[in-house]
Amino acid sequence: MSTLDTTPSTPVTPRWQTLLIRPETMTFLLLVVGIFAGSQLSPFFLDINYILKSFTLYSELAIVALILTMVIIAGEIDLSPAANMALSACLFAWAQASGIPMPVAIGIGLAAGLLMGLLNAWMVISLQLPSIIVTIGTLTLYRGLAQVIAGDKSIRVPEWFIGVDKIMILGIPLPVVLFIVLALVLAVILGGTIFGRQIYQIGTNETAARYAGIRSARIKFSLFLLIGFVASVAGIMTASRLGSVRYDLALGGELQMVLMAMLGGTYIFGGRGTILGTFLAAWLLVVVSTGMIVANVLPAVQLVVLGGLLIVAIIATNLIYSRTQR
């Protein structure tokens, strides 16, 4: 019992019980129920290729949601990544359409994503403004700039660049592989490194973390840069999947990302949450949505089910966290 013991140890609780009351367990159970319900709703649902293919439609948002999970655990929020995706993709598409070589155009898109992350980071960390307000502002700003660049038209990408979702690795579409690999890497970083522990500590009590010598400003700054960069990667992937770019690419995607993090048990006030939770929640969202779509369930019912899921998840997360806090 010395310096490294950061997890509150409760020796009386048996291991199965601590496992059972983790929020990811709830996400996992919901996922199992979702798969079962989907297979009951339609005979066309239980087809691994179809589910993987459907996941590619959500994969870009899911990839960003993994980083967003870390941002939320650090006690901040970023609502601008979906707009960032659109602006990065528009800049990239506009650049390559005006004759700039493809690698440079991709570089422009990625640099733009990094810059957008930098702007958020500067306002949140250097100017000490609340991240929710800052990123609602930049959400509108980035989307607006995307519309200025692309207008109401769409910009095409060359034929050879189309189809990142058609590239298969061991029978799995590339965007899904990227999502899985990134989840593994981030899970190790967040769960197994000092850097990861520091993110949790900043989110739990930033003042205390700072007194403990954690450079919270620098860590949060790097998280905002990271999410900006990853959002631009996701934007360019979306451009490749759709074959064209418009200013309304990933419109409303920020809500899907937050939904994935929340469904996975990430605590909106920071300090708690896991990559595994968001990983499972992304699959849950895909399974529930496609399960209902392939069964031709009315969209109104679909919205009710998704809303209900989120409320269940939030109530359960709060209950679990308030229990374990005692």
With CB under 8 A, what is the number of residues at the site for another protein? 31
d(CA 152, CA 29): 43
The answer to whether residue 308 forms part of the interface with another protein (CB under 8 A) is no
Residue 248: phi, psi to the nearest 5?
-95, 15
The residue among 35 and 294 lying less far from another protein, judged by its C-beta, is 294
Binding mask 260-289 for another protein (x = CB under 8 A): -----------------------------x
Could you tell me the two tokens for 290? 């496609």
Could you tell me the two tokens for 220? 């949060």
The residue among 53 and 210 lying less far from another protein, judged by its C-beta, is 53
Binding mask 30-69 for another protein (x = CB under 8 A): ------------x-x--x--x--xx--x------------
- Residue from 71, 16, 114 nearest 275 by CA: 71
Part of the chain binding another protein (CB under 8 A), chosen from 16-24, 67-75, 103-111, 290-298? 290-298
- Residue from 183, 178, 294 nearest 240 by CA: 178
Could you tell me the two tokens for 53? 């293919």
d(CA 72, CA 273): 8
The answer to whether residue 298 forms part of the interface with another protein (CB under 8 A) is yes
What is the distance, to the nearest Å, from the Cα of residue 130 to the centroid of all Cα atoms in its chain?
20
Binding mask 234-253 for another protein (x = CB under 8 A): -------xxxx-x-xx-xx-
Part of the chain binding another protein (CB under 8 A), chosen from 11-19, 96-104, 105-113, 156-164? 156-164
102 contacts 161 by C-beta, under 8 angstroms: yes
The residue among 56 and 84 lying less far from another protein, judged by its C-beta, is 56
Dump strand ranges (E) for the chain: 155-156, 168-169, 172-173, 244-245
The distance of closest approach from Cβ of residue 52 to another protein in the complex, given in angstroms and rounded to an integer, is 11
Q: H or E segment at 62?
A: helix 48-73
The answer to whether residue 159 forms part of the interface with another protein (CB under 8 A) is no
The residues that touch another protein, with contacts defined as CB under 8 A, are: 42, 44, 47, 50, 53-54, 57, 152, 154, 156, 162-163, 241-244, 246, 248-249, 251-252, 289-290, 293-294, 296, 298-300, 302-303
